[in-house]
Structure 1
Amino acid sequence: MSDREDQLAGEFPFVPKQERAQQKRNALLESGRELFISKGYEQTTAKEIAAKAGVATGTFYRYFLDKRQLLLSLLEDKIEKLLPPEPSWVNGNPEARLVEMLESYGHRLNQHGLHRVLPELLLKDPELAEVIATAKKRIHQRIFTELQAAKEKGLTWSDLDLNTLAWSIMILAENAAVKVEQSGEPAEYHEIAKVICRLVFPPDVLKNLKSDNENEIE
């Protein structure tokens, strides 16, 4: 059977119901994930994925049309987990909550690993790029809605363009974990959270939010 690496498959493949078949499919998914991360998407073949999973190449094509369809299966229901968190500004200490969210986001990225593969694909795969863009728009809208709620309560700077601010928060949050990974330096999530919160809140408002939260804890 030919190695159909360039064929595009836009739909997620059928998931088998039999336990043994599910085990083989899961082994292929994990094999593909590990190889995509270690070798890169372009350098990985279906034959290598099958060999690492301990199955024949023909078995690979029983479950997936090509390696791209396997990648889509890995990303299914997980795309938003690879994208930046959505802060809440109106309850508790926003800085402390944001640190927790950034730490959780960094942990998810390291655990999943596929964010390392996406940059090489997005320029070559318009369909996948559109999926990612749509997911980012959903997250942006949720951040924007949270900022609106904070502004209505008089918590934010009055002259801020919330649409631009929401995108700025996404960029800062998204690149925080990437910077840690690329530099090998300890995480600076507290500093990133501090910068984001200063973009959103005037100093006196942020101080009051922190104080109110400390009083509630006591």
Structure 2
Amino acid sequence: MAEQTVNKQRKIAPRKAPSQERSKQKVNQILTAAKQLLISDGLEKLTNNHIAKTAGMSVGSLYQYFPNKQAILYRLYQDWLESVKDEIRPLILRASEVDLETLLEELFVSVYGRPGNPHEDSLIESELLKAMGLYAELQEIDAEHSKAMGELLAEIFLAAGLTCDEETAHQLGMFTYSFDVARFEFIKAGGQQELAFTWFSQSLLRVLGQYLPK
């Protein structure tokens, strides 16, 4: 099992870590180009040739930094997951200042944008979730991220004054984060994003409301 993990990491590991400013700039060009193409053309049409051309470099230059498309997607997914956590951390302090309904609205807007006007990262997310279904490496990092998100959301809920133990708070955090996948599947099946936000907000308010002080 350990050997399999090492082999997987080798497949997606960057060829060289960018230490100089010029190298960092090239890596950013590659990642920016890949994001643009994911938004405009989707995962199905994403190729190393297209990424290199959009980044303004040769495919050979791209391969100096990433061994394959899978490695680029892995780095994009890592960056996106970290951005999600960065977006909601400030809500730990905010949680004690607003009511639960306002807190949930701010939570959704900070991560997804407003219904009908999603964040660019939300558009990227839908394509990265498709990639997650194809690559085991992305599934592994997503499982680690889900656990961390559950803990972070639990901290927010406890700061909001929910009267439950830490384990229940963590379960509530995991339940809340599961909306991400449910929303994606709902919209993929033809559901309206506005309804996904509204119905899940109503459901979550009812569930969390059980643990508010009487």
Structure 2 match to 1:110: 119
User: Which residues in structure 2 correspond to 1:82-93 (within 5 Å)?
Assistant: 82=84, 90-93=96-99
Q: Give the deviation of 1:66 after TM superposition.
A: 1.3
- Deviation for aligned residue 1:187: 6.8
Conserved? CA contact 1:157–1:201, under 8 Å: no
TM-score under structure 2 normalisation? 0.69
Distance (whole Å) between structure 2 residues aligned to residue 69 and residue 42 of structure 1: 16
1:200/1:47 Cα in 2 relative to 1: closer, same or farther (>3 Å)? same
Structure (1 or 2) with the greater helix fraction: 2
Quick one: structure 1 residues 190 and 95, their matched pair in 2 at CA, closer, same or farther if it must change by over 3 Å? Answer: farther
Q: Secondary structure at the match of 2:12?
A: coil
Describe the superposition over 1:130-160 as per-residue Cα deviations: whole angstroms up to 9, x where unpaired.
101101111112333455666xx6x4489x9
1:193 maps to 2:198: no
Q: Give the 3 Å change call, closer, same or farther, for CA 62–10 of structure 1 in structure 2.
A: closer
Structure 2 counterpart of 1:119:
129
1:173 touches 1:192 (CA, 8 Å); kept in 2? no
Structure 1 residues without counterparts, runs of 5 or longer: 1-6, 207-218
Moved more, 31-40 or 161-170: 161-170
The CA deviation at 1:93 is 0.9
Alpha carbons of structure 1 residues 80 and 55: separation in structure 2 relative to 1, 3 Å = closer
**How far, CA to CA, are the matches of 1:22 and 1:90 in structure 2?**
40
Q: Using the alignment, how far apart are the partners of 1:95 and 1:175 within structure 2?
A: 20
Per-residue deviation, residues 166-188 of structure 1 (Å, max 9, x unmatched)? 33222236545775796455476
Contact 1:99 1:190 in 2 (8 A): no
The size of the alignment, in residue pairs, is 196
Q: Which residue of 2 aligns with 1:70?
A: 72
For 2:60 and 2:212, locate their aligned partners in 1 and report how far apart those are by CA, in whole Å: 65
**Equivalent residue, structure 2, for 1:15:** 18
Percent of aligned pairs sharing the same letter = 21
Aligned alpha-carbon RMSD (Å): 3.8
Q: Which has the higher contact order (CA 8 A, sep 6+)?
A: 1
Distance 1:58-1:144 versus aligned 2 partners, 3 A rule: same
Q: Could you list the runs of 5+ residues in structure 2 that have no partner in the other structure? A: 1-8
**Larger of the two Rg values belongs to structure:** 1
Equivalent residue in structure 1 for 2:153, among 138, 143, 150: 143
* Cross-structure match for 2:179: 172
Give the direction of change, closer, same or farther, for the CA distance of 1:44–1:203 in structure 2 (3 Å limit): closer
For residues 169 and 31 of structure 1, the distance between their equivalents in structure 2, rounded to whole angstroms, comes to 32
Structure 1 position 118, deviation (Å) = 2.4
The verdict on how the C-alpha distance between 1:157 and 1:163 changes in structure 2, with shifts beyond 3 A counting, is closer
C-alpha deviations, 1:107-133, integer Å up to 9, x for none?
396322321222332233212211011
Paired position in structure 2 for 1:97 = 103
The verdict on how the C-alpha distance between 1:178 and 1:94 changes in structure 2, with shifts beyond 3 A counting, is farther
In 2, Cα distance between equivalents of 1:117 and 1:188: 18
